[in-house]
A = this chain, B = another copy of it.
């Protein structure tokens, strides 16, 4: 197993254990709601965003126990957005992370409420993380709330763009909001918790922007080159929905070349950072070469 794959497995174990502690299988309140949240949380996601929190944090010397709560919070808010995006009135999807979507399994009302609860629990988790000082918590909550607002904006733009001809700028606008914002926050959060210097923070923000773009280009490529089975979610959806994607405007080979160039950019930025950034370079490489 490569070092990066090893790292992702380690993050999955850490984050899932913490999520299991935050939202245990047994507890007060209606079990349906709890089961619906856990159904979507523990579906074998890649944990890319929590991995970014932990990788950036470790890069600048933060201990895991300072990072894991925020990593879990980011996964909760990501999962809430998947649950709501999959709803019949939104993208109307039946399959996610290789299993039925939350509303297929638990009904629409419970799925909406499970998403609502996961969003609020992510803020509670950070607000009550007593290992972090209150200034850090407020800074993280402010950043996460801004990212979460952008995710909603991106989803609304995405819905409105369906079947429309939109400009490349329009497509970027959707991605920067819908997926880029939370990826950027995840990287920044690791740096904030590690109390990185202003200079390094700027570099990390630049790196995260490239990573968000790389994530989107490879996501678009996977949608047209992989099977539903391999992805664990419906393949070919972008074309079916008439969405403007990178392979559509650049061709498949062109999009692959573009991904390579974005990766090179990302790695070049890392070289300017005064720390061992091998882990972060590995994550960029993972995105470039991922098959699901």
Contacts and interface: CB of A to CB of B under 8 A. Distances in A.
Those 3 A-B pairs whose CB atoms lie nearest each other, nearest first: A124-B145, A89-B108, A120-B148
A292 interface: no
Interface SS, A side: helix
A152 to B, nearest CB: 5
Nearest to A153: B29
Contacts of A84: 112-113, 116
8 contacts: A32-B160, A89-B108, A90-B112, A110-B159, A116-B152, A121-B145, A128-B142, A134-B138
Given A90-B109, A119-B116, A149 B127 contact: no
Interface residues of A, number: 41
A87 interface: yes
A120 B29 contact: no
A135 interface: yes
Interface of A: 29-30, 32-33, 84, 87, 89-90, 107-110, 112-113, 115-117, 119-121, 123-124, 127-128, 134-135, 137-138, 141-142, 145-146, 148-149, 152-153, 155-157, 159-160
Given A89-B108, A107-B89, A155 B113 contact: yes
Contacts of A138: 127, 134, 137-138
